[in-house]
Amino acid sequence: MDQERFDVIVIGAGQAGPALAARCGRAGMRVALIERHLLGGTCVNTGCYPTKTLVASARAVHLARRGDEFGFETGPVRVDMRRVKARMDGIVGAVRADVETWVRGMKGVEWITGHACFTAPRTVRVGERELKADRIFIDVGARAARPPLEGIDTVSTLDNASVLQLQEVPRHLLIVGGSYIGLEFAQLMRRFGAEVSVVERSPRLLPREDTDVAEEVQAILEREGVCFHLASECVAFAPGEATVRMRARCEPQDFWLEGSHVLLAMGRTPNTGDLGLESAGIRADERGYIEVDDQCRTSAEGVWAVGECNGRGAFTHTAWNDHEIVAANVLHGETRSVRDRIPCYALFTDPPLGRAGMSEQDVRATGRSALVGKRPMERVGRARESGETQGFMKVLVDAQTRQILGASLLGLAGDEVVHILLDAIASGITAAALARTMHIHPTVAELVPTLLQDLHPLQERA
Ligand SMILES: Cc1cc2nc3c(=O)[nH]c(=O)nc-3n(C[C@H](O)[C@H](O)[C@H](O)COP(=O)(O)OP(=O)(O)OC[C@H]3O[C@@H](n4cnc5c(N)ncnc54)[C@H](O)[C@@H]3O)c2cc1C
Ligand SMILES: NC(=O)c1ccc[n+]([C@@H]2O[C@H](COP(=O)([O-])OP(=O)(O)OC[C@H]3O[C@@H](n4cnc5c(N)ncnc54)[C@H](O)[C@@H]3O)[C@@H](O)[C@H]2O)c1
């Protein structure tokens, strides 16, 4: 087989891949961009975009049901899942088409469809072609984890991709995993009219978040009728009569749950098992994440891993940021590092949770002297006017330097307002300076200065 020479090979056209291909192409390099499935990857096709269209439909349904509160009548609200899906498919299809137009128009970039696999250092096979390049960027992403639990192959399970194909609202959806994916689907499916039961092995939801945050999220979803089984580990499945049965290990006694459908939201598995990493001398950890340094360089010379497959972030914005770091370093001789970024993300329940920097448990773990400010959303005028008073805002500040350490904003617009604190952390503005900045009334953001004017020592836990 003849080898074809490129300057750059990009494997995977998710978030980081196409952008890197475009930048290299613009720099005059000859680039191969290989994608085995759909352009846009997880975010566009089976992650952020489709789920947030569903969150939007579910919120509209929820508000329609609250008409009485706001002074209007709607009559009974019934969800037509086919139309909800059609709206989702339309938006996702249009976004994917935009990515396709972008890729087709890229200077110097050849888009190749197929599964890429390393056969030797800096050598990749795709279909009948063997490509070679001095620089290779791996952006292969991840998929839903499917642990080999007892009986799992005897029932039909859903994951974040197949759940999007449902044409009807499930009668009773069992969800394994009470974290980001599980909770977003729990609320939206409940709002569509499904009975929803979530099984989570940790004693609380969202094990990475603070306890008060996890408990408030739980209370919000329970008010809407979502049922939680905490400290309950799903260990087995069995088919029922037109149902799925799931066994959970729990003290003092295991129990069985029965539902019409089951959604696995138990974490992610990187798409690296079939990439031939060993042939190219690229090391991965025991979970399959490609080992990288702070500049996303792998153990093989001339090979970088970006996005979810490097285990340094599991969000669209971390994948995008990886591309910016690698492009700056490779194309412009900079030395940017993933270590310099401030963690930030949101949980898109309604109301959402916006997170920036350190959580309270992170701050406590450092043992530093810190201050905390916390206000319920009931104190926010805009939230009261909008009838959206669930949740709270919490900010952590260093007691000595008054630098802002982190924030958890669970409430109306928390996903947007948290950026004030993120940008304050990034620019080094102190809590005192931000506390004096006049904000617009009536907004949710106007509570940020108030929050920072009323800080208390973070007490040691009893
Ligand atoms: C349900 C859900 C909701 C989410 N919501 C959010 C959110 O609201 N906000 C947020 O920031 N993040 C969210 N995420 C996470 C986000 O979608 C991912 O972190 C992000 O898409 C990862 O981008 P990536 O470029 O690393 O990989 P991907 O987007 O997964 O792209 C990888 C691409 O590589 C291709 N590929 C894999 N192996 C090969 C191979 N051998 N050869 C050729 N091509 C290959 C795949 O087909 C895929 O297209 C969500 C994820 C899920 C599952
Ligand atoms: N809003 C967002 O930005 C967003 C939304 C969805 C997903 N994502 C990304 O996708 C990633 C994956 O999300 P996820 O929620 O699938 O994974 P996760 O790793 O965040 O959570 C998995 C959950 O499943 C639980 N679990 C695992 N095995 C179990 C078992 N046998 N029984 C009961 N519980 C079990 C874990 O304790 C954990 O709480 C996230 O880390 C996130 O980065 C982001």
Residue to mutate (ligand 2; options 158, 181, 269; most atoms within 8 A of CB)? 181
Residues 6 or more apart from 241 whose CB is under 8 A from it?
none
For ligand 1, atom 17, name the residue with the nearest CA: 43
> Cα separation of 413 and 440, whole Å?
15
| DSSP states of 272-295 | TTTS-GGGGT--B-TTSPBP--TT
- Locate 115 and state its tokens: 């599964």
Give the residue from 301, 458, 295 showing the smallest Cα distance to 372: 458
- Residues paired with residue 256 on neighbouring β-strands, in sequence order: 247
**pLDDT digit of tens for each residue in the chain (462 aa)?**
789 999 999 999 999 999 999 999 999 999 999 999 999 999 999 999 999 999 999 999 999 999 999 999 999 999 999 999 999 999 999 999 999 999 999 999 999 999 999 999 999 999 999 999 999 999 999 999 999 999 999 999 999 999 999 999 999 999 999 999 999 999 999 999 999 999 999 999 999 999 999 999 999 999 999 999 999 999 999 999 999 999 999 999 999 999 999 999 999 999 999 999 999 999 999 999 999 999 999 999 999 999 999 999 999 999 999 999 999 999 999 999 999 999 999 999 999 999 999 999 999 999 999 999 999 999 999 999 999 999 999 999 999 999 999 999 999 999 999 999 999 999 999 999 999 999 999 999 999 999 999 999 998 775
Distance 142 CA to ligand 1 centre (A): 6
Predicted complex ipTM: 0.97
Selecting among 115, 172, 261, 441, the annotated active-site residue is 441
The ligand that comes nearest to the alpha carbon of residue 41 is: 1
Does 416 show up as a binding residue in the annotation?
no
SS3 of residue 346 by DSSP: strand
Distance 42 CA to ligand 1 centre (A): 3
Atom of ligand 1 minimally distant from the CA of 15: 25
Give residue ranges with CB within 6 A of ligand 2: 176-182, 184, 199-202, 207, 233-234, 265-268, 314-315, 345-348
> Cα separation of 316 and 307, whole Å?
8
Q: Is 311 in the pocket of ligand 1 (CB under 6 A)?
A: no
Say whether 261 is catalytic: no
For ligand 1, atom 31, name the residue with the nearest CA: 14
Atom of ligand 1 minimally distant from the CA of 126: 42
> Cα separation of 350 and 63, whole Å?
11
SS3 of residue 246 by DSSP: strand
The ligand that comes nearest to the alpha carbon of residue 125 is: 1
Domains of the chain, CATH where assigned: 3-144+269-340 (3.50.50.60), 152-266 (3.50.50.60), 344-456 (3.30.390.30)
Task: State the sign of the Cα–Cα–Cα–Cα dihedral 94, 96, 99, 103.
Answer: negative
Atom of ligand 2 minimally distant from the CA of 347: 1
Q: Given the structure tokens 């709002």, which residue do they identify?
A: 191
Atom of ligand 2 minimally distant from the CA of 149: 31
**Phi, psi angles (nearest 5°) of residue 128:** -90, 0
